[in-house]
Amino acid sequence: MPIYLLLIPLCPLLAFVLTLICGRQWGERAHWLPIAAIGVSLVCALLALRDVLAGNIVNADVHTWIASGNLRVTFGFLVDQLTAVMLVVVTSVSTLVHIYSVGYMRGEKGYYRFFAYLGLFSFSMLMLVMGNNFLQLFFGWEAVGLSSYLLIGFYYEKDSASDAGKKAFIVNRFGDFGFLLGLFCIFTIFGSLHYADVLPQAGMLEGMTFTLCGYTVSAPTLVCLLLFCGAVGKSAQLPLHVWLPDAMEGPTPVSALIHAATMVTAGVFMLARCNALFALSPTALAVITVVGAVTTLFAATIALTQTDIKRVVAYSTISQLAYMFIACGVGAYGAGVFHLFTHAFFKALLFLGCGSVILGMHHEQDMRSMGGLGKYMPITSATFLLASLSIAGVPGLAGFFSKDEILLMAFNAGTFTGYLAWGVGVLVAFMTAFYSFRLYFSVFTGQFRGTEHQREHLHESPRVVTVPLLVLAVGAVASGWLGIPHVLGGSNHWAEFLAPVTGHPHVHVSGAVELGLMAVSVAAGFAGIGLAWLMYCRSPELPGKVAGAFPGLYQLFSRKYWVDEIYVACLVRPTLWLADNLLLGVVDTRGIEGVVNGVPRAIGRLSTSLRRIQDGQVAHYLTWLAGGAAALLLVLQLGFFS
């Protein structure tokens, strides 16, 4: 196995350890080692991509990790087409986020600690995508959860940030519990956790059943739904989406890293990696499709009314991830990974663009206090516009190709859930274009609505911030060119490249139908852009009138369907009540403390009574002696020892 494959995850790990130990002494130079480390990982990832393109697939064990009975798990690497794509995404976006963070985080308390955590985050995600077995996948899965907790709660002295970090960690435990049960099932059935032993033999699951509580359950469906539970948590799908918007409490570079290249994409990667298992369960695939369709619409409606610029983009992430789940649900795993790839660039650009705006506005995040920033921040404005056009699906840009591939494959599935997902996807394409340009027009066009102090200090961000924006803008435009479909004269190199891992679904629809579907989605996108221009540029009084005309609907969207409040009422408060009244009041106070404190008290009372036997008084000794003799005579008289 080439040594450079080991360097890909180990360089960020080494940077994490050394920066955490020595970073305080390095001060504002603490970023150099983490940036150099992730840069080396990027170069090595490109070397890995080169080798995969040449046909060299690596599946090698490095070290035996666990050997216990029939369980043997190794520390090893699988570098194939899917892994190569993820390596390029993770290392490239992470490198740009590291560089951007030098400008964004300069002067922050805990500067070195932030860069150390970035290294840990990158290492965790790289281990997740490179592992050749399910347990190593789970190790990376949990490690990115830990990293997100540390980075989201980076401003730990701020209650909202520390609470958001805990929320992300706890909510993901619900999904990960199901994921772990799925791994138990896989080991029980196959006797191994290595991909090479499980995925090629997935067919043995067909027809197998489990009996649970008297019900017969299909083994493929049970295993796939349990694995999907983990994906729902990590990729923030309904009903475990609530942690992702709150993750905005962390520094903006963290938001870009979590939403674009790490953690949230882990669920999509896992579905694509395990496609051989999911192909055995039409029920599980239908569930994935429906969850994706419902989530993409749910998140898009919320994004329509948010006023915090980062939260608009956060709900956009949930919606776009759901697009990827729709693709996986209809069996088009390559299309889902394609959208993951293009989304990484335009979504990282949107988040880092938001960060540039926040720097310029002195950490103001309410877009109602912005406006007209385009003339003060031309580079940020131009790159943000490109990202908005890309996510809106404007032809020629990256988002157009990947989004339309998903919509085509949903329609091509020919099932009720496929048609449903296509219809919802087109509607969400309209909403995505609308809320993206609602954000762009509100921030960069019109009159400035902030304070005079903010106006006086408005300026473009430094080059260490704008250069990553320009690089990401290239990806937001050109990354989709790898998958230009045949109907537009391309060769769809993307589908051909990933086919050995994800398969190549057959397209049943004609070229004319494909062009018609494409025209519908493009028209929906342009309609969304046009409506946003009408409401926020030409007639800025319209949003207020619309909100006033539909107050109930506006409240529903702006309050995020009260999902957090429902969780608090149904889960949090009952749990706290049980903890206070049952666990603390009964189990702890009366049970545990009753035993812990009651036994010493009983011993104390007994010892106090027995102490009188030897109190130094001769009369007491004679009394005890006479009493003892009388008791002994009574025992003998009654014949207890006869």
Judging by DSSP bridges, how do beta strands 209-212 and 215-218 pair with one another?
antiparallel
List of residues 6+ apart from 638 with CB closer than 8 A? none
In the numeric block, the tokens 């050995």 are attached to 500
Give the model's pLDDT for residue 640: 61
* pLDDT value at 558 more than 70: yes
Q: How confident is the model at residue 632 (pLDDT cuts 50, 70, 90)?
A: confident
Q: How confident is the model at residue 133 (pLDDT cuts 50, 70, 90)?
A: very high
Model confidence pLDDT, tens digit, residues 292-311: 999 999 999 999 999 999 99
Residue 496 or residue 624, greater confidence: 496
Residue range 335-345: mean pLDDT, rounded: 95
pTM: 0.90
Give the model's pLDDT for residue 225: 95
Measured CA to CA, the distance from residue 568 to residue 302 in angstroms comes to 19
Give the model's pLDDT for residue 589: 73
Q: What proportion of the chain, given as a percentage, has pLDDT over 90?
A: 69
In the numeric block, the tokens 């830990």 are attached to 146
Give the model's pLDDT for residue 641: 58
CA angle 424, 263, 358 (to 5 degrees): 85
* pLDDT value at 608 more than 90: no
3-class DSSP assignment, residue 122: helix
489: alpha, beta or left, given left = phi > 0 and alpha = psi -120 to 50? Answer: left
Residue 263 or residue 367, greater confidence: 367
Model confidence pLDDT, tens digit, residues 140-196: 999 999 999 999 999 988 888 999 999 999 999 999 999 999 999 999 999 899 999
